Amino acid sequence: MKLPTLSAEEVAFARSLAIYEDEHVLVLNKPAGLSSQGGRIAAHTLDDLLFAFAKKSGVRPRLVHRLDRETSGVILTARSQPAAAFLGRAMMARRIGKTYLAIVTPGAPRPKNGVIEAALRREMRGREAYMKVCPDDHPDAHAAATRYRTLRADAAAALVELSPRTGRMHQLRVHLAAIGRPLAGDVRYGGALVLAGVAVPRLMLHAVALTFPNPGGGETRVEAAMPTDMAVLADAIEG
């Protein structure tokens, strides 16, 4: 496999994303528009940019999980294979807590706080993968649960906090759409593209916090402030 060659600007950009690091982990604040890994866009991914943190041996941090391309926020990497294995086991055991902020429309979910429990299945439409709510006994069903809490709301939109109990593809997006409150900017699942007369620039979903058992001991919590484009829309919600 050919290793990516990073420019000085890309190295500086990658390093600017670091928000926490120790000898075991590196935590980054991924901007919207940057793919975590793979994809069909001919541009460096976050996974490629991790070579900016490579050791002299060439070993780079490894992604522990992913965020959708248009989702911003906290993403965890491991600096070594033992740390990656430790965190992988923690992920499987659901010991890594993820908290997201999202803007949904129209208005607050009903009830304002609760848990969405709806199984999901994957469906291909051409080259695009979608997730759909399905009966629990569907042969392709995967159990999924999302806790949500309304932080602020008016008639047009709401800022909600989301805590997924499971980690299915597009889970938060599909679950909120299933209760009639799709994420603003979510073209794939019916989200509004204009909010209070202002164009929604992207999917309004931000991974605001991550809590995880640290391979070095104890528990670590890392937070990333909401990006400006999302904060502007959130501040316009009057509730």
Which among 68, 27, 70, 50 is positioned nearest to 227, based on CA atoms?
A: 70
Report the relative pairing of strands 198-199 and 194-195 from DSSP bridges. Answer: antiparallel
Task: List all residues 6 or more positions away from 189 whose beta carbon is below 8 Å from its beta carbon.
Answer: 170, 173, 174, 177, 182, 183
The catalytic position among 47, 68, 137, 229 is 68
Task: List all residues 6 or more positions away from 49 whose beta carbon is below 8 Å from its beta carbon.
Answer: 6, 10, 13, 14, 17
179 alpha-carbon distance from chain centroid:
20
DSSP 44: -
186 catalytic, yes or no?
no
The set of catalytic residues is 68
